Structure 1
Amino acid sequence: MTTYAALLRGINVGGKKKVPMAELRGLMEGLGHEGVHTHLQSGQAVFTTGRGDEESLADELTRAIEGHFGFPVDVLVRDHAYLEAVAAACPFPAAELEPRQLHVTYFSASVGAERFADIDPAAHLPEEFRLGDRALYLYAPDGLGRSKLAEALARPRVNRGLIATSRNWNTVVKLVELTGS
């Protein structure tokens, strides 16, 4: 049995794509997953299963959500070891920063620096980003809502062909904790 986190992109934001967490838990339990619990209302669910891999579990959950709620939702599934490795590899001094200043964008596949070639890092200072394993770390000292670099990183041409979903550092750490227990 492996414990995973399902990361749902773009739900319960501004009254759109409403996915009540109790319904999501029931849906996942109906798929045969165990120990299902959710974190916050923004699309994190932790579960245990003995079948499948990250990609097949994400595909299954994507189809089930669309079938149940009537709209598509991008889903990434990541196991504890991956989530822990991403947190440990953070290139920024996470312990010294406010959690609102540090974010991780999880990608459905590996990304290379060429995707970001048209973004001038110097033009966005003191904001910075670094690439990791299917992840991007963003340091935004004034928070994500005011980040011009976050806007540039979210452009469709940068993320073309990928599922990408971001979490603040508090959530990154919490997911490691929840999938490890």
Structure 2
Amino acid sequence: MDNLIEATARILVKDGFDKASTNRIAEVSGVSIGSLYQYFPSKEALVAAVIERHQQQIMQTVRSTLTQVSTQPLDKAMRRFVAVAVEAHRLDPQLHRVLAEQIPRVGKLEKLETFSRENFSLFRAYLEGARDDLGVDDLELASFVCVTTIEALTHNAVLHHSKVLTDDRMEALIDEAARLVTG
């Protein structure tokens, strides 16, 4: 089953969603088409499995970092939140870009919503612990603004401007974004 998911990911990156087919995925994975259909009823189901695996990898990175920042001061924690978002987007960025374009097509928005809610909840938990230092009354709104800003900024930077953003410039971007959300 892992061969099928990996083959699907490679084909999506190389050829895109429209050129991926169950026959091509079976061929690339070395699995018969009949065996493919035992595990996955369609190309969309395979893409959904790729999305789920990629999201799990990202959340593993995010969760491990967020437990480390729970007691850090606000400025350091915000910088780490932004840095982990950059790290998460750098996990197979070509695949991330393709999946970001394909998710609506395969009807996996519910899984994406669960993924976003978990990010939001983890961030909100940090803010709750730092409430006394924040001077913010509405933690729900603050969490929404910060998570949405970090996600949009890092997604765009890593996936669409990585050639311009050298490592030094990426560090500067992380610093600027951390100052932005801290404000």
From the CA coordinates, give the structure whose radius of gyration is larger. 2
Please tell me the TM-score bracket, short chain as reference: under 0.3
What's the TM-score, normalizing by structure 2? Answer: 0.25
Relative to total residues, which structure has the larger helix share, 1 or 2?
A: 2
What's the TM-score, normalizing by structure 1? Answer: 0.25
Relative to total residues, which structure has the larger strand share, 1 or 2?
A: 1
